[in-house]
Structure 1
Amino acid sequence: MQKLPMRNKSRSCCAKCFLGTVLYIFILLLLLFLIIFVVVPVVFKYSTGIQQNLIFPTWIIQAENYTNVEAFGIKGVKNFYLNLENEDNVTLGIWHILPFEILSDVIDNNDYNYDGILENANYNILLYLHGNGGDRTSSLELYEILRRYFQIFAVDYRGYADSSKAKMGESGIVADIVQLYKWLRTKSKSKIFFWGHSLGTGVASHAIANLKRDNISSHGVVLEAPFTSVTDVMKTHPVVKVFSFLPWFSITIIDPIIGNDLNFNVKAYILDVDCPVMILHAKDDDIISYNFATEVYNTAVNSRNYTYQGNVTYHLFDVLNYGHMYLYKAPELSSYVGDFIAECDNFERQIHN
C-alpha cells in the first residue's frame, strides 16, 4: 500500500482545520444575528414594560424631598398633592410657584396665601409639563424667567417623583393633566397657558385636543423642543436605525409603541389646538432634532385656520450650547414670552368681538 506523503497529510489537516474554523465562525455569527436581529425585536414587541421604561425612564430620577422647597433655593413655592377621582386613584405631586411681583424677602414660603393668589384673575397661570427624564425640580432656572409673567403649576406625571404609581401610558397621563386643568379652572378665572418641554409637548398638545372635545380651550401653548411622534424620533436614533433594514422592523419595534399607547403624535394633535402656539427649539439639540419642530410648525401653519385657531410662532435658536435643556440661557427668551402673551390676549379679543 502506498502511503501519502507527510506534506499532503499536513495540508489535509490544515484544510479540515480551516473549514472547521469557518463553520464555527459562521455558526457564531448566525447565532449573534438571531439574538440581535430576531430575539431582541421579538422580546421588545412583547414586553410592554421595556417599552414603558424606554418612554418613561422614571428609574433614572433620584427621589427628592419635594416638600422641602427651600432646599432647592427657590422662594414662594408651595408643594401640594391633588387627588384625582379616576379609576387609577392617582395623586399628583405639584409645585405652585408664585409670580415674582408678589414675592417678598421677609415672608417665608408658608406665609403666602396661595389659594388667594390662585383665585386672583390678575395673575396668569402656566401649567408646566416636564420632559420624560425630569421631574418638577428640573427646570428651576426656567421658572425664574417664567414667573415674571405667570404663577406656575409644575406637575409630576403619574409614576414620576412622588406622584402615584399607576399604569403608564399616554392616555392615562393626558387624562390626569386634563383633570388638573379642569381643577384649576374651578379654582381660578385666570388665563391658563400650557408649557410643554420635550415629552411634555406631546402631553400638552394631546391634553388641549382632549379639552376641545369638552368645549374648553387654553389661552396659549408653548412647545419647547417638540417632536412629531415618539416613533418618528425612534427611527432617527442610531441604535434603532441598526434594525431598520429588517422586514419585521415595523411590526416588532414601531407598531408596539403605537399599539401600547406610547406614541404621543404631536403632529396630529396640533391640528386640534385652538389657541396660539409658540414653538421653541435649538439647532444643536442632539436629543430631538429641530427638524421635528420645523415639521410640527409647517403642519400647524398649513393645516390649521389661524382666524379661529390662532397664529403659530417659531423661534429656532442658532446659538450653540443650548442643546435640549438650556434654552433658558437665551437672552431673548423672556421677551419672546412677553410677546407671545400679548399675541394670545389679542387673539382672545378678536374671537370675542
Structure 2
Amino acid sequence: MSTALNLTNRQNFYIKLKLTKTLVNYKLGTILRLFLKEKMAKKSGKSQKLRNYAKKTVEKPQISNVYLARIKSSFKNFNLSNPLEFNLNNTHAFVLNHDDIQLGAWHILPHDKQLKPSSNLQEHFEINIEKSFESKKSITILYLHGNTNDRSTYHRIQLYKYLSNLGYNVVAVDYRGYGDSTGEPTEIDVVRDALFTYDFIKRTAPWTTIYIWGHSLGTGITSSAARTLTEKNRAPEGIILEAPFFNIVEEVELHPFAWLFSYNKILFYMIENSLSKLNLQFRSDIHLQKVSSKIMILHAEDDIIIPFHQSEKLYDIVKNKGVSSNLTFHRIPSHHKCNHQNIYLYPDLTNLISDFIN
C-alpha cells in the first residue's frame, strides 16, 4: 500500500494540528488586517482605494484558505485519472466540462458489477448504471466531500467501498480547485459544480434514483443544492448529511482552535464580518427548511471538528420549520470512534442507510 495510505494516526494528527494552527493564525491575521484597513479607510477618506487594496491583498488569500483544496496528507503524487492506484478496481475516472473548467470525478460501480468498456462518457453511464428490476432499485449516490484534499482521501475511499458493497453506484466529484479539477472555488461556484454533476447523472441515466451524500463542508453544499433543486421541482429522492454544521459562521466559531480567541467577542464579530464580505455563508439552517427531499443526519458524539450539537440544532429547526416530511437524526455513540470522518466504522450503518433508502 502507498505511503499516503500508511500514515499512522499520530502522524495524521500532527499534520492536521500543524496545518490547523497555521490556518487559524493566518485567518486571524487576515481578518485583523481587513478590519484595520476598513477603519483606516473611513478616517482617511480613501475608502474605495483601500477597500480595493484589501480585497486584492487580503480577501483573495482568505478565499484560498477557507477552501483547503491544496492541503494534502500525502507525501506522494497520485494520478487521479487512474483509480487503480487507490485500489478501486471497478471504477471509471472521467471529466466533466463546465463553465470553461474541468471537474474530475469517479464512478464507482456496485461491488458485484464489472466495468464495461465504452467509447464515450454517455455510453459509459448508459451501459454501466443498470436499470431497476423487480424489487431491486437502481440507486446512485452523489458524494460531495469535505474541505481538505480531494476525492482520493483514505476515509472517503473507504466509504465509497462501503456503499459499493451495499449495491449502490457512487459518483464522487472534486469541486473546482480541488484534486484534478481546474478553477478556483467560491460558495456559489462549488454549489453550481454539484448541481451540474447531479444534472449530468439525471440526464445520462434518468432511470436511476439519485441520493446526495454530503460530508462536513459538503453538507453545506448539499443543503444549498437540494434547496435549488426543490425550488425547481426537481428535488433529489433524499439527502444524507454526515457531520453537518448549522452555518459556516458557527462552524468557524466552534472550531477546536477557536479557544485561542474566544475571550474576545470583537474577534468573533470580525470573523462574521469578513465571511460576509467574502460571501461565505453556507446557511444550511435556512436552506434545509426549504428542502422537500427526505433527510437523514448522521453525526458522531466524538467529532471534535464539528460538535454533534450542531446537528441537533439543525435537526430541531428543520423539524419545526422545514417542509420535509421525512427527517431523521442519528447520533453515533463515541465508543465507536467514528469521530469527524470515519462513519464507515459504525456497525449499524448498513441498517441506517438501507432503512433510509428502501
Aligned to 1:29: none
1:74 maps onto 2:88 in alignment = yes
The 3 A distance-change label for structure 1 pair 37 and 232 is closer
Aligned to 1:174: 191
- Equivalent residue runs for 1:1-353 within 5 Å: 41-43=31-33, 45=35, 46=54, 47-61=58-72, 62=74, 63-84=77-98, 86=99, 89-103=100-114, 113-118=124-129, 120-121=131-132, 122-138=137-153, 139-147=156-164, 148-166=166-184, 168-189=185-206, 190-237=208-255, 239-246=257-264, 248-305=266-323, 309-320=324-335, 321-342=337-358
SS in 2 for 1:137: coil
SS in 2 for 1:269: helix
SS in 2 for 1:102: coil
CA distance in structure 2 between the partners assigned to 1:222 and 1:36 by the alignment = 32
CA distance in structure 1 between the partners assigned to 2:171 and 2:66 by the alignment = 23
1:132-185: per-residue Cα shift (whole Å, max 9, x none)?
01311121111122122421100001000000123x211011011112111111
TM-score using structure 2 length: 0.76
1:20-45: per-residue Cα shift (whole Å, max 9, x none)?
xxxxxxxxxxxxxxx99996633255
The 3 A distance-change label for structure 1 pair 109 and 299 is farther
The 3 A distance-change label for structure 1 pair 113 and 39 is closer
* Rg larger in structure: 1
The 3 A distance-change label for structure 1 pair 238 and 204 is closer
User: How far is 1:50 from its partner?
Assistant: 3.6
TM-score using structure 1 length: 0.77
Unpaired runs of at least 5, structure 1 = 1-34, 343-353
Greater than 6 Å deviation, 4+ residue runs: 35-39, 107-112
Matched-pair contact (CA < 8 Å) for 2:224–2:287: yes
Aligned to 2:16: none
The 3 A distance-change label for structure 1 pair 52 and 38 is closer
User: How far is 1:129 from its partner?
Assistant: 0.5
1:322-343: per-residue Cα shift (whole Å, max 9, x none)?
111111011110111000002x
1:208-246: per-residue Cα shift (whole Å, max 9, x none)?
111223221100000000001111011123544444554
Aligned to 1:20: none
CA distance in structure 1 between the partners assigned to 2:124 and 2:102 by the alignment = 23
Please provide the CA RMSD for this pair. 2.6
CA distance in structure 2 between the partners assigned to 1:57 and 1:95 by the alignment = 21
1:224-283: per-residue Cα shift (whole Å, max 9, x none)?
000011110111235444445546435532111123122211111111111111110110
Give the stretch that moved more between structures: 271-280 or 114-123.
Answer: 114-123
- Alignment length (residue pairs): 298
The 3 A distance-change label for structure 1 pair 289 and 251 is closer
Aligned to 1:348: none
Unpaired runs of at least 5, structure 2 = 1-24, 36-53
CA distance in structure 2 between the partners assigned to 1:327 and 1:39 by the alignment = 34
